[in-house]
Amino acid sequence: MREIVFDTETTGLSPADGHRLVEIGCVELFNRVETGRTFHAWFNPDRDMPTEAFEVHGLSAIFLSDKPRFHEMVSELIEFLGDAPLVAHNAGFDMAFLDWELKACARDPICRTRMIDTLALARAKHPGAKHSLDALCTRYGIDRSQRIKHGALIDAQLLAQLYVELTGGRQIGLMLAAEPIVAAGEPELVPANINSEIIVATMPRPPRPHGPSEAELERHAAFVATLTNPLWAGTAA
């Protein structure tokens, strides 16, 4: 199944207040695996960039001034999205801006049945925990060292990994401790490298003595003595 994970950057919190979409990044998944196909674009919002927004993503009005307007890229974006489900973190925020820009171009809005919200997935799976993208990447061991500021494409790439984890996929980054704590008598799990793939090998339990005790031998001899005409009677030793 084809899915698109995407993220946006904007000039503010709501298009109803005159804020605009300034960046979108999309990552294509097929059967929960990244295909390598992406879509990324910056847009000239034809307005100033508030300080609060600039501090989040670092996109200035000067930097965006020579970028295309949304309507100039909308056909390429729609073609890339196709009819695939759309995955976003706090999807209602991103979809509100995307729909506003589509409406401004006389394009149909995105059907909400296509929307998958990883924030809702995270809240259901980890109630009471922190659910920001940063916090969830830390929880699942997803490397975000290249993420200095918010950026639509890098955030979409991180979110693609997180989405796979939240939906029980490839268990990215699953590693065993170098010195696992094992309860007495329990099998020890150790990593083994075969054909460059990390697998888990189970160490056998230590051998246990299974010989009969002296008391058990005496009870057995007493029981045998009660048997009438046993099959082995008269058999040479």
Residue 193, pLDDT score = 39
Mean pLDDT per 10-residue run, the chain (237 residues)? 97 96 97 96 97 95 97 97 97 96 96 95 95 93 83 95 88 45 40 39 60 84 84 65
Residue 47, pLDDT score = 96
Residue 236, pLDDT score = 55
Which residues are marked as active site? 150
Residue 235, pLDDT score = 64
What DSSP assignment string belongs to 123-181?
A: HHHSTTS--SHHHHHHHHT---TT-SS--HHHHHHHHHHHHHHHTT-S-TT----SS--
Residue 114, pLDDT score = 95
Q: What is the dihedral of CA 117, 123, 129, 133, to 10 degrees?
A: 0
Residue 225, pLDDT score = 84
Residue 208, pLDDT score = 63
Residue 204, pLDDT score = 61
pTM: 0.70
Domains and CATH numbers, the chain: 2-166 (3.30.420.10), 175-206 (no CATH)
**Integer angstrom CA distances of residue 68 from 58, 73, 74:** 18, 7, 10
Residue 125, pLDDT score = 94
